[in-house]
Structure 1
Amino acid sequence: MDVKICGLGTEQTVDVAIASGASHVGFVFYPLSPRHVGPSHAGQLAKRAKDQRIKVVAVTVDAGDGMLDAIIEAISPDMLQLHGKEEPWRIDEIKDRYGLPVMKAISLEGADDLAMIDEYADVADRLLFDAKAPKGSALPGGNGVSFDWSILRDVKGDWFLSGGLSPENVGAALEVCNPGGLDVSSALESAPGVKDPDRIRAFFAAIREAEAA
């Protein structure tokens, strides 16, 4: 199973995520987020991951071509994650422009929201299912809230599960649905935007425990 630790911002936490078993590391390029990193700093962090053959994901929110150009030049990501309101035509446009795989985040609350899958399944290389942002939140993701994972039980394909995952509940999530990947961010922090190495290690320990069970 793929595991992406998202919103990393220091060399130490990148190294801990890799040593713990991350397949992907995500860097957030969204100024409203406490996890936002500039392209130059992200480039230094991305190199540490690439040296270990770990996939680098650039996470953006309704980014224009100018911003994407700067991100790609700085970190040469393996994948772009679009976490805003990007429509299918925009995904096609981005894939044509950059030649990179795209993962599209879809915000879910109930089973009715699954209808959005059909809109994106044929254009995005992977889908990521996240919880809808709480009212008043400026962030489309990384809010530390989850949703009813059981609505994904019959969803086919190779998708990531996100939204409120933590060392305490990831085992339950894996019992309920069968994701191809897990994406985690805020639950591994000691403060907004500050990843806790011990929480990162605990998350992977919980995954191993769930898989063994």
Structure 2
Amino acid sequence: MLGRRTTTIITHDILYGQDPRARVMLSGMFRDEDIRAVNEARPDLCGFTVNWPSSRRHVDRDRLRRLVSLLDPTIPAVGVFFDQPLGFVSEVADEMLDVIQLQGTEGNAYMTFLRELADLPIIQAIRMSGPSDVERANKSTADLVLLCAGWGTGVPFDWELARQVKRPYILAGGLSVHTIPDAMERLSPWGIDMNTALETNRVKDPHKIAAAVAAVRSASA
């Protein structure tokens, strides 16, 4: 929405700035309480699973609008989409998002058309299981790639594959406050994304949200 365009410069600095510290993205927010915790913890990016009913963290368009309206405008809102029509993604993005994340099978051709419709940065998630996924990550035309084992699985992939990715990336999957220091030391990712590890009894835990942000900031200080 227009009120969030105040985040344009902030979003640019987060994605393209020279700050050497790892960025923190917290994903899967779906309740008002989640946004209050995010505003308090102040990650670099906040992610929402959009229009994917098979996910328990899914938010529809109206719910997304409310949650983004509650989000501190200095924290860019990331909409996570799974093989959605271009028109829908661009409309939602133009109205209320700062960054688009593609989590499905979308390829470079899809992103070419999407950029003609929505002038926002794009993150492409790559499910890492072998050499072909490394190649896909390296050849992606997205602004950033996110490396994971699969959305919401809460399990890590073989980190040796990440070493072969020759571009900045966000590391996701199976990370916790206990494994973040090792991940940062071994891989030096551009950013860390967390979702399942932020939950207690299947809902976001404000204490875990705060601890996750603190762990990344401490490990990359």
TM-score normalised per structure 1: 0.85
| Structure-1 separation of matches of 2:61 and 2:37 | 21
| Structure-2 separation of matches of 1:95 and 1:153 | 29
Alpha carbons of structure 1 residues 63 and 117: separation in structure 2 relative to 1, 3 Å:
same
Q: Deviations over 1:11-63 (max 9, x none)?
A: 22222223223011011011111110111121121122243x11110000000
Deviation at 1:110, TM superposition (A): 3.7
| Structure-2 separation of matches of 1:173 and 1:63 | 32
Q: Quick check: 1:109 aligned with 2:129?
A: yes
SS in 1 for 2:183: helix
1:17 match: 38
SS in 2 for 1:16: helix
SS in 1 for 2:71: helix
2:176 match: 166
1:146 to 153, 156, 170: 156
Deviation at 1:164, TM superposition (A): 1.4
Alpha carbons of structure 1 residues 26 and 207: separation in structure 2 relative to 1, 3 Å:
same
1:155 partner amino acid: V
| Structure-1 separation of matches of 2:39 and 2:180 | 19
| Structure-1 separation of matches of 2:94 and 2:144 | 23
| Structure-1 separation of matches of 2:72 and 2:89 | 19
Q: Quick check: 1:60 aligned with 2:81?
A: yes
| Structure-2 separation of matches of 1:127 and 1:69 | 19
Q: Quick check: 1:42 aligned with 2:42?
A: no
The gaps in structure 1 that reach 5 residues or longer are 134-140
Deviation at 1:112, TM superposition (A): 4.9
Equivalenced residue count is 199
Q: Given that residues 190 and 196 in structure 1 are in contact (C-alpha distance below 8 angstroms), is that contact kept between their aligned partners in structure 2?
A: yes
Q: Cα RMSD between the aligned structures?
A: 1.9
The gaps in structure 2 that reach 5 residues or longer are 1-21
2:18 match: none
TM-score normalised per structure 2: 0.82
Q: Given that residues 138 and 166 in structure 2 are in contact (C-alpha distance below 8 angstroms), is that contact kept between their aligned partners in structure 1?
A: no
Q: Given that residues 39 and 70 in structure 1 are in contact (C-alpha distance below 8 angstroms), is that contact kept between their aligned partners in structure 2?
A: no
Alpha carbons of structure 1 residues 153 and 171: separation in structure 2 relative to 1, 3 Å:
same
1:86 partner amino acid: E
Q: Quick check: 1:89 aligned with 2:109?
A: yes
Alpha carbons of structure 1 residues 31 and 67: separation in structure 2 relative to 1, 3 Å:
farther
